[in-house]
Chain A
Amino acid sequence: IQMTQSPSSLSASVGDRVTITCRASQNINTFLNWYQLKSGKPPKLLIYGASNLQSGVPSRFSGSGSGTDFTLTITRLQPEDFATYLCQQTYSAPPFTFGPGTNVEIK
């Protein structure tokens, strides 16, 4: 299963609403996770099962979708949210395929 993300990068301002899309090459039900990646730090789980917020993750993060199309939304972007976001499918695994990532930069 191939995972794609769009956009590959985006520029946004603090307080903006940001939406990132992830698409699977075939149906993965809701076996879709989102991670945040920052330089020098391990990946951080944000959303599991497409729409479930991981404990401790701020509620401005939300996920939706099923089948092949998924979105990660960040409402009211905060300075600490500037990072790379990756989706991951675990429906047909192994391999536990990651998307290529979306880099969220400061405008």
Chain B
Amino acid sequence: EVQLVESGGGLVQPGGSLKLSCAASGFDFSASAIHWVRQASGKGLEWVARIRSKADSYGTAYSASVKGRFTISRDDSETTAHLQMNSVKIEDTAVYFCARLRWVGGTNCFDYWGQGTLVTVSP
């Protein structure tokens, strides 16, 4: 069974740091790209970051709103991905989900998601 479990959320002050983790099981983690997506309260989904597999040189990408402040990484030996959040802002307050990118039939999608971890940025 595919599982993604996020952890590390909590309360942090503006300008502070937080590190989120996404522990994966039930699939070939090392061959999968992992993404982070967030949802602010009452809002829709915002894509945050992605890290590709070793075969794709661990390529990373970020949304404009977090670039330069957040860093995505992965540890294939631990089947875990991380999102290091630095210089956080109040507008980073959201539930953060990790998701697996799946390629199928020449297209791709996020087929498995974790339950999410809440990050609250407040003075």
A interface with B by C-beta (< 8 Å): 30-31, 33, 35, 37, 41-45, 48-49, 52, 54, 84, 86, 88, 90, 94-101
Contact B111 A96 (CB under 8 A): no
Q: Which residues on the A side are within 8 Å of B97 (C-beta)?
A: 42-43
Q: Which of B97-123 contact A (CB under 8 A)?
A: 97, 99, 104-111, 113-116
CB pairs A–B below 8 angstroms (22 shown):
A31-B108, A33-B109, A37-B44, A37-B45, A41-B115, A42-B113, A42-B116, A43-B37, A45-B109, A45-B111, A48-B108, A52-B105, A52-B107, A86-B44, A88-B109, A90-B108, A95-B47, A95-B61, A96-B47, A96-B50, A98-B46, A98-B47
A86 and B43 alpha carbons, distance in the complex (Å): 11
Chain A CB within 8 A of B25 CB: no
Q: Is the CB of A94 within 8 A of B61?
A: yes
Q: Name the prevailing secondary structure of the B interface residues.
A: strand
Instruction: Give bound CA distance, A33 to B45, whole Å.
Output: 13
Residue B63 is within 8 A (CB to CB) of chain A in the complex: yes
Taking a contact as CB atoms under 8 Å apart, the answer to whether A90 and B109 are in contact is yes
Which of A43, A84, A101: most chain B Cβ within 10 A? A43
The closest CB in chain A to the CB of B49 belongs to A94
In the assembled complex, the Cα of A41 lies from the Cα of B99 at a distance in Å of: 13
What range describes how many residues of B lie at the interface? 20 to 34
Asked, given contacts A42-B115, A96-B47, whether A49 binds B63 with beta carbons under 8 Å apart, the answer is no
Identify whether the interface residues of A are mostly helix, strand, loop, or mixed: loop
Nearest CB of chain A from residue B98's CB, rounded to whole Å: 10
Asked if B35 is at the interface (CB within 8 A of a chain A CB), the reply is yes
- On whether A45 and B110 interact (CB within 8 A), knowing A52-B105, A94-B61, A94-B63, the answer reads yes
Bound: A76/B22 CA distance, A: 37
Kindly list chain B residues whose C-beta atoms are within 8 Å of the C-beta of A45: 109-111
